[in-house]
């Protein structure tokens, strides 16, 4: 039985059940029930007092509550990492939008020339998005390599979950790509609306 700690027991030795002896000052009793465990607490207390009214009963909790306490620290760390990841994603999207918008502004004259020579609005949008997404794909590849290298640091925070979880890595990569695509598309759409006459006068 695993009860001394999650995600793993402190030692590899098996836990052994021993007969109750007079020298034990405290014992833990586990009850299995098909009913609501919280509804069984009062009956269990009454049954124990029938055996010995002097028994002090404390720490009554369901197994799910015990497990929750055991992984409370890991869960808090997970929530904090989720918050920081969300902030990082937001900063990445804002930063990417800023870089692409600045690049578009620097290329206003070039874009105006392209439109004047017959480039369609969709061609301009595709050009700007393509340039941005190339940078994003390089960043995602580098990020995945770094994440794989740092997975060992997450071992103590995971329970019955592999450090290298392909769906998680794929999901994060797709989420980043979608956010980056939106961040690239907004400046691209603005670039496609550039008036060639104004753009050719732009300095």
Cα–Cα distance measured from residue 200 to residue 48, given in angstroms and rounded to the nearest whole number: 90
Predicted structure pTM score: 0.58
What DSSP designation does 15 have?
P
**Domain residue spans of the chain:** 1-70, 73-201
Distances (CA, A) of 40 to 34, 36, 56, 66, 131: 10, 7, 17, 16, 64
Q: What is the pLDDT along the chain (203 residues), one digit of tens a residue?
A: 555 555 555 556 666 777 777 666 777 788 888 888 877 888 888 888 888 888 888 888 888 888 787 778 778 888 898 899 889 888 888 888 888 778 777 777 777 777 777 778 788 888 888 888 888 888 889 988 888 887 777 766 666 667 777 888 888 888 888 888 888 888 888 777 777 666 566 55
How far is it, in rounded angstroms, from Cα 42 to Cα 39? 7
């Amino acid at each position: 039985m695993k009860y001394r700690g999650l995600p793993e027991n402190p030692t590899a030795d098996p836990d052994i059940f021993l007969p109750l002896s007079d020298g034990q000052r405290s014992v833990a009793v586990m009850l299995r029930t098909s009913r609501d465990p919280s509804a069984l607490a009062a009956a269990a207390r009454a049954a124990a007092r029938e055996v010995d009214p002097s028994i002090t009963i404390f720490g009554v909790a369901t197994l799910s509550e015990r497990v929750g306490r055991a992984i409370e620290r890991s869960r808090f760390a997970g929530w904090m990492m989720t918050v920081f990841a969300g902030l990082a994603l937001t900063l990445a999207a804002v930063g990417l939008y800023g870089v692409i918008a600045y690049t578009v502004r620097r290329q206003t004259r070039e874009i105006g020339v392209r439109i004047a020579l017959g480039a369609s609005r969709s061609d301009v949008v595709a050009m700007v998005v393509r340039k941005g997404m190339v940078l994003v794909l390089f960043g995602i590849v580098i990020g995945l390599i770094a994440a794989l290298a740092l997975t060992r640091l997450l071992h103590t925070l995971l329970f019955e979950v592999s450090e290298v979880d392909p769906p998680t890595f794929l999901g994060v990569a797709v989420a980043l790509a979608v956010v980056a695509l939106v961040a690239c598309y907004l400046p691209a759409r603005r670039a496609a609306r550039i008036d060639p006459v104004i753009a050719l006068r732009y300095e």
